Amino acid sequence: MTDDRLERPAVHALLSDGTTVCIREVTPADHEQLRGLYEEMSPDNLRLRFFAANRRSGAAAADQACASPRPGHRALLAEAQGLVRGVAEYATGKDPRSAEISIAVADGLHHRGIGTLLVEHLVPAARAEGIGEFTADALSDNHEVLRMFADLGLRTVRRFEGPEVRCTIELGEDETYLSAVEARGRSADVASLTPLLRPDAVVVIGAGRRPGSVGRAILHHLHEGGFTRRLFAVNPGVTSILGVPSHPSVSALPTTPDLAIVAVPAAAVPATAEECGKAGVRALVVTSAGLDSGQAQALLTACRTYGMRLVGPNCLGVSNTDPDLSLDATFASDHPRRGTAGVAVQSGGVGIALLDGLSRLGIGISTFASLGDKYDVSGNDMLQWWESDDRTDLAVLHLESFGNPRAFSRTARRVTRRMPVLTVDAGRRAAASHTAAAATRTMTRQALFTQAGITATRSVGELLETAALLHSQPLPAGTRVAVVTNAGGAGVLTADACAEAGLSLPPLPPAVIDALLAVLPDGAAAGNPVDATAAVSEDQLRSCVERVLRYAGIDAVLMTLVPTAVASATGDELIRALTHSPGGRGRPVAAVRLEQDLPVRLLPAADG
């Protein structure tokens, strides 16, 4: 039989603490390392694995794992930095539908999810061979393995036989198992992003002594932005840059940084990443652009070898406005305003526009990531971070491609239950000419957004308008809209626009009409739209809207206003009058000033 194990691709996966391992097939070349894994085990670990502290059993287990391939047998190992950290395998006996599974994890590496990850990767392989269950014998005091089987999300039956426990794990795929795998992945993903978005120490590599370099601009932002943790620079020519201590190399730093900002020429990126990995850095932000294929592969290899998360290359940077951190590792023109929107983009230019727009509106950001060429950290990762972040209540994405649309859709569906997720329908044209990622086809994108519950807008301006509405107003319960205007023609245009958007304008009942006519100027028409006339005052408009909102037959109020010479109040004054309405409305109210120069403005309520 041909040994195809070398042809099966390795998978890089996250452990529960956010570190990375490589899951791959066991091959004969791994025999020595597998023997070493068992030889280095403590007597107690050996006893739990083989029911006796017998190192000959370890040698036999290594022989079996590396044996020639056969149907009904599969062995996988977890590897980090070239060292075997764990191994798991299954083998069928007389019944080809049942396989015995065994797991071993190196001493000192328990409770990090290595065994669970290996089993998760064995499950689909076993299913593909027609295997319907795993069986395993464990000592009754092997609480770690018994708990691992119980927490897999698969139906597990235990049968106690003296000091041993016979476990039978059914391999049927259902929502419970998928949810359990998803929850473990989400927890690991968030843990892996902590060094990136909540670092305790940051180093900027490539900050020059003269103004104008990207590295110096990022160092300036971090320093002047009040980063609350330890900050260093790497520049062999000086001992200080912008008041920040500088050292000749990453290895010379007094402490190992969690995050390294790499702003060096493309040719120097691979060696810099390798140096960071050897020093124990956990995350990289690479702003450098123009990496060729060899440099790109070397960067990825370094990150995978040393378990570093990577943002970029060709990116603007990352920010976290939490006052406990104040991380602004970008070279945008201004510091982002502290707020509640999570933002992830591929294009740095779009990122700057969104940061400026959200700051102007008073929404601000919680966290920001410019993903650039998106070699590693993706929009899916950021969605999972925001889902676990109490400071984020609005997610904003501008992505030109989706590496794994199915995973993205599943994550986004879950996140949209907690907060609105907005995007610009980017990539409709040749976005790949801008970043290294190929654009996803338009029809696929639209179906993806619909399936995931994402609100897709047609432009950055429209996205900001939608963000302002969702940030400041409750979600409507339905599609029924009441239109209020001080110009009949504007009301007609608004009604037409609502109809085109799939909204309805239900007629108001007589009691509501009478209540409106009682507070509006002479000549008002209280249908739907409500024509409040050009002479409407602030108090009259406020009373009108309050009465409309009391009617349970509408879900939202939309006003269109124009300045007139006969009214005592200007358009601004009419709109501001609504900010003094007492109590919470419970339904959204939006106003359109037809002559307004800005696309959207947010007016806070009088009580904040």
Question: pLDDT per residue over 109-163, tens digit each?
Answer: 999 999 999 999 999 999 999 999 999 999 999 999 999 999 999 999 999 988 9
Distance from C-alpha of 492 to C-alpha of 494, rounded to nearest angstrom: 5
Tens-place pLDDT, residues 461-497: 999 999 999 998 888 999 999 999 999 999 999 999 9
Q: Where are the alpha helices (DSSP H) in 113-233?
A: 114-128, 143-151, 175-197, 214-224
Could you tell me the pTM of the whole model? 0.87
Q: Which two tokens stand for residue 399?
A: 């992505």
Res 428: pLDDT: 54
Intrachain domains 5-173 and 332-472 with the same fold: no
User: Residue 3 above 80 pLDDT?
Assistant: no
Res 4: pLDDT: 60
Superfamily of 332-472 according to CATH: Succinyl-CoA synthetase domains (3.40.50.261)
Res 585: pLDDT: 66
For residues 566-593, give the mean pLDDT: 69
Interhelix angle for 442-452 vs 405-415, to 10°?
Answer: 30
Q: 5-173 maps to which CATH number?
A: 3.40.630.30
Give residue 212's pLDDT band: very low, low, confident or very high (50, 70, 90).
confident
Tens-place pLDDT, residues 53-85: 888 899 999 999 999 889 999 999 999 999 999
Give residue 42's pLDDT band: very low, low, confident or very high (50, 70, 90).
very high
Give residue 256's pLDDT band: very low, low, confident or very high (50, 70, 90).
very high
Res 566: pLDDT: 62
Res 475: pLDDT: 87
Res 8: pLDDT: 73
Tens-place pLDDT, residues 590-607: 888 887 666 677 666 655
| Burial (Cβ within 10 Å: 0-12, 13-18, ≥19) of residue 261 | buried
Distance from C-alpha of 21 to C-alpha of 79, rounded to nearest angstrom: 5
Return the percentage of the chain with pLDDT > 90, whole number.
78
Distance from C-alpha of 252 to C-alpha of 235, rounded to nearest angstrom: 11
CATH architecture of 481-593: 3-Layer(aba) Sandwich (3.40)
Give residue 52's pLDDT band: very low, low, confident or very high (50, 70, 90).
confident
- The more confidently predicted of residues 2 and 514 is 514
Nearest to 365 by CA among 464, 222, 259, 224: 464
Q: Which two tokens stand for residue 168?
A: 């039978």
Tens-place pLDDT, residues 403-446: 788 888 989 999 999 999 999 986 555 444 445 444 555 557 88
- 196-307 domain in CATH 3.40.50.300? no
Res 190: pLDDT: 97
Within 8 A by CB and 6+ apart from 455, the residues are: 420, 421, 422, 423, 449, 466, 470
Per-chain mean pLDDT for the chain = 91
Distance from C-alpha of 474 to C-alpha of 584, rounded to nearest angstrom: 10
Return the percentage of the chain with pLDDT > 70, whole number.
91
Res 583: pLDDT: 46
Domain extents in the chain = 5-173, 196-307, 332-472, 481-593
SS3 state at 106:
coil
Lowest mean pLDDT among 263-277, 331-345, 406-420: 406-420
For residues 528-544, give the mean pLDDT: 92
